[in-house]
A and B are shown apart, each in its own frame.
Chain A
Amino acid sequence: MITIEHLKKTFKKNKVEAVKDVSLEVNDGEIFALLGPNGAGKTTTMRMLSTLLVPTAGRITYDGKDINEDMLSVRRRIAFLTNEIRLDGQFSPDELADYYGRLYEMTEEQIRKNKQELFDYFGITEFSKRRYETFSTGMKQKTSLAICLLHDPDTIIFDEPTNGLDILTQRLIEQYILKLKAAGKCIILSTHILDLVSRLADRVGVIVDGKSVYCGSVSELASSQGVSTIDEAFVKLYEENHEEQAIITKK
């Protein structure tokens, strides 16, 4: 279980307060969607969750332990996949899987077994000896996903996982997310595609201007705002909480 308490992040370089006050809870075996407009602080929150950034204030606990106290063991249990992730193009998926598997201190047997399962699922097996740089965008994304999941993490953070992918690859990834959920994994999903949220997520957190403004089940999101769809609920939450928009509305 992941608990985020009054998380705050101010970047020293440009003094930007990217995250002001975010509090969320994510349970094991659920898909938690993180929603928010561009620049709301979703990516910064996820980077803090994956130990890449240190919070300015607040606390993130993973099964009750502060994640910044033992970062390396948290990293062994977490996978973070964004569409920015690329792997070394000179290597084949096979070589990359061996390298990252060893970095995660997996045994050769574990590497072989997980590699075979993931490569088969994503249709990489027949290209596993080819250089990563020769792959199409979708194939690269699938390979990145397979490599990220190779160490069998308990928690998987997806930042826009289906961006720029064709419908078939999108569906494959969606199905895999559901498969991970069925295996009891905790999945945090950041996306702008609300349809994806309504289809996959169990609970949702909404961030506006660096503050968490909603944390609850997807089914209750619309009703809690007195609207009929999550699109409308999201827009309403944004209008109520976005600082500039709130001033205009008041006027």
Chain B
Amino acid sequence: MHGLWLVFKHEIAKIFKDKNLIFGFFVLPVLSLLITVGISMIRPTTTEAEEYCLYFYGINMERINIGELNEKQIYVVSVEEEPSVFMQSGKFHNYDVLVDFSDLHEINIYYHEEDTISSYLKSTADSFVREIYSELYRGRHPEIEFRKVVAEDLNEKEDDNRLIAMLLPYMLILPLSANISNFSADTIAGEKQRGTFFQALLSPVPPLALIMGKIWSVSLISLFSSGIYIGLDVLGSRICEANGWQDLFGFSGIHVSTAEFLLILLYAVLLCYLFSNLGVLISLFCKNANQAQIAQLPVTLACTVSAMMAMFRFGTSPKFHYLIPVYNICIVFQDVLHAKVRLENMAMVAVSLLVLSVVLVIITLISYRSERVTE
């Protein structure tokens, strides 16, 4: 369609040439990241290890040094507290390992998969357990049967995902709705305010091309900007908690496969497109950017409430919930992260959002020639 690509490129270029927008949407998140990391660095650190320990429960032995890692000594130490009690105490750190030797049929090694030191110590503990068994029991106590060593990761994967599933809709919808509100308010109402919309109205570009060019540019730039905010937010929290550079990359603690990530991205794009349609429609009827932003407040509020309602949703939702705009996206995000995703629900949400977007585009096109827009 003539003009669509031109309008789209012009709108994107306009945003990238506006110093205030560049600062607010791209520089500010980076600055906030630097501030967050800076604050975390001046915070007194309590996790600096002096030594690493393999704690043993159920066997008495002297504290012995079994080697060195990262210029720190590794000790084997026996403990008297029950594993559950000891793990809650301040003595047991994330990088340590606890071996429950009380039941020889099944020896448990508790460690933190997320922590590279703890993972390494787990392997050492496993070898050490087998060595102890050979030395102490093999051939001497035939009645004792050594069966297996079970390594138990103390990172609660399900809980991590549950937390992320709770927060993700909120984390996505808040910056998305705020960004779209700003960009769409600026795109038409802002142009009216500056007197630049008039020239666009007079151009021989079909209204559909002009409207779609604006909607797509708002969608893309809002998604990009929200992605930066969310990405830097996640990176900031990782930097604050990471023990090493290798912890910064990958999604340790967040168990999202590539397919799940792509599904979330696809629905985020759909959501962004829907919001942009609505934002541009509202902007069309407003005389200036401030008025448009105020008019969009109820939409932003409704979206935030939907995301909050989804945060406290437990179990499965009835079918009709997948037809409630915005809320349906939130529950789809949660379904993806909880591995409860069902194809018919996903399809229902995608179709309902696309239908709603098309309806909004039609209303926008009809409104485009209304007197309130052109007078």
- A residues touching B (Cβ–Cβ < 8 Å)? 11-13, 47, 50, 52-54, 72-73, 75-76, 78-80, 82, 84-91, 99-100, 102-105, 147-148
> Are B6 and A99 interface neighbours, CB within 8 A?
yes
CB contacts (< 8 Å) of B198 on chain A: these are 82, 84-86
Contacts A12-B371, A53-B375 given: A88-B196 contact, CB under 8 Å?
yes
Q: Shortest distance in angstroms between B17's beta carbon and chain A's nearest beta carbon?
A: 4
Q: Shortest distance in angstroms between A42's beta carbon and chain B's nearest beta carbon?
A: 15
Complex Cα–Cα for A103 and B18 (A): 22
> Are B374 and A52 interface neighbours, CB within 8 A?
yes
> Are B369 and A90 interface neighbours, CB within 8 A?
no
The reply to whether the CB of B67 lies closer than 8 angstroms to some CB of chain A is no
> Are A13 and B372 interface neighbours, CB within 8 A?
yes
Complex Cα–Cα for A216 and B165 (A): 75
- Of the residues A54, A75, A86, contact of B202 by C-beta under 8 Å: A75
Complex Cα–Cα for A47 and B373 (A): 13
> Are B199 and A147 interface neighbours, CB within 8 A?
yes
Q: Shortest distance in angstroms between A33's beta carbon and chain B's nearest beta carbon?
A: 21
> Are B17 and A105 interface neighbours, CB within 8 A?
no
> Are A103 and B204 interface neighbours, CB within 8 A?
yes
Chain A's closest residue to B16 (CB) is A90
Binary interface profile of B, 341-370, with partner A (CB < 8 Å = 1, else 0)? 000000000000000000000000000010
Complex Cα–Cα for A91 and B13 (A): 9
> Are A85 and B199 interface neighbours, CB within 8 A?
yes
Complex Cα–Cα for A72 and B209 (A): 12
> Are B14 and A104 interface neighbours, CB within 8 A?
no
> Are A91 and B374 interface neighbours, CB within 8 A?
no
> Are A75 and B196 interface neighbours, CB within 8 A?
no
The reply to whether the CB of B38 lies closer than 8 angstroms to some CB of chain A is no
Q: Shortest distance in angstroms between B183's beta carbon and chain A's nearest beta carbon?
A: 15
Contacts A100-B203, A103-B3 given: A86-B195 contact, CB under 8 Å?
yes
Binary interface profile of B, 89-126, with partner A (CB < 8 Å = 1, else 0)? 00000000000000000000000000000000000000
The reply to whether the CB of B130 lies closer than 8 angstroms to some CB of chain A is no
Contacts A52-B201, A76-B204 given: A87-B17 contact, CB under 8 Å?
no
Complex Cα–Cα for A103 and B196 (A): 15
The total number of A-B Cβ pairs within 8 Å is 68
Q: Shortest distance in angstroms between A135's beta carbon and chain B's nearest beta carbon?
A: 14
Contacts A53-B371, A73-B204 given: A91-B17 contact, CB under 8 Å?
yes
Q: Shortest distance in angstroms between B236's beta carbon and chain A's nearest beta carbon?
A: 31
- Of the residues A11, A13, A84, A105, contact of B2 by C-beta under 8 Å: A105
Could you list 17 further interchain pairs (A-B, Cβ under 8 angstroms) beyond the known A53-B374, A91-B13, A91-B14?
A13-B375, A47-B374, A50-B202, A72-B206, A75-B202, A76-B204, A84-B198, A86-B194, A90-B13, A90-B18, A91-B17, A99-B6, A100-B199, A102-B6, A103-B205, A104-B203, A147-B199
CB contacts (< 8 Å) of A75 on chain B: these are 202-204
The reply to whether the CB of B72 lies closer than 8 angstroms to some CB of chain A is no
Contacts A75-B203, A75-B204 given: A54-B195 contact, CB under 8 Å?
no
CB contacts (< 8 Å) of A89 on chain B: these are 194
Q: Shortest distance in angstroms between A91's beta carbon and chain B's nearest beta carbon?
A: 7
Chain B's closest residue to A131 (CB) is B17
Q: Shortest distance in angstroms between B150's beta carbon and chain A's nearest beta carbon?
A: 63
> Are B204 and A54 interface neighbours, CB within 8 A?
no
The reply to whether the CB of B10 lies closer than 8 angstroms to some CB of chain A is yes
Complex Cα–Cα for A80 and B198 (A): 10
Chain B's closest residue to A12 (CB) is B371
Closest 5 CB pairs of A and B: A86-B195, A90-B17, A75-B204, A72-B204, A76-B204
> Are A86 and B196 interface neighbours, CB within 8 A?
yes
Q: Shortest distance in angstroms between B292's beta carbon and chain A's nearest beta carbon?
A: 18
CB contacts (< 8 Å) of A103 on chain B: these are 3, 6-7, 203-205
Complex Cα–Cα for A142 and B201 (A): 20
> Are B204 and A90 interface neighbours, CB within 8 A?
no
Complex Cα–Cα for A73 and B2 (A): 13
CB contacts (< 8 Å) of B372 on chain A: these are 13
Complex Cα–Cα for A71 and B198 (A): 16
Complex Cα–Cα for A103 and B5 (A): 10
Complex Cα–Cα for A12 and B2 (A): 32
> Are B195 and A85 interface neighbours, CB within 8 A?
yes
> Are B206 and A11 interface neighbours, CB within 8 A?
no
CB contacts (< 8 Å) of B17 on chain A: these are 90-91
Q: Shortest distance in angstroms between B86's beta carbon and chain A's nearest beta carbon?
A: 63
Chain A's closest residue to B210 (CB) is A103
> Are B3 and A54 interface neighbours, CB within 8 A?
no
Q: Shortest distance in angstroms between B212's beta carbon and chain A's nearest beta carbon?
A: 15
Complex Cα–Cα for A75 and B203 (A): 6
Q: In B1-55, which residues have CB < 8 Å from any A CB?
A: 2-3, 6-7, 10, 13-14, 17-18
Q: Shortest distance in angstroms between B92's beta carbon and chain A's nearest beta carbon?
A: 58
- Of the residues B2, B202, B205, contact of A80 by C-beta under 8 Å: B202
> Are B196 and A87 interface neighbours, CB within 8 A?
yes
CB contacts (< 8 Å) of B205 on chain A: these are 72, 103
CB contacts (< 8 Å) of B369 on chain A: these are 54
CB contacts (< 8 Å) of A102 on chain B: these are 6
CB contacts (< 8 Å) of B10 on chain A: these are 88, 99
Complex Cα–Cα for A201 and B213 (A): 41
> Are A13 and B195 interface neighbours, CB within 8 A?
no
Complex Cα–Cα for A11 and B375 (A): 9
Chain B's closest residue to A86 (CB) is B195
Contacts A11-B375, A12-B371, A103-B3 given: A84-B203 contact, CB under 8 Å?
no
Q: Shortest distance in angstroms between B194's beta carbon and chain A's nearest beta carbon?
A: 6
Chain B's closest residue to A104 (CB) is B204
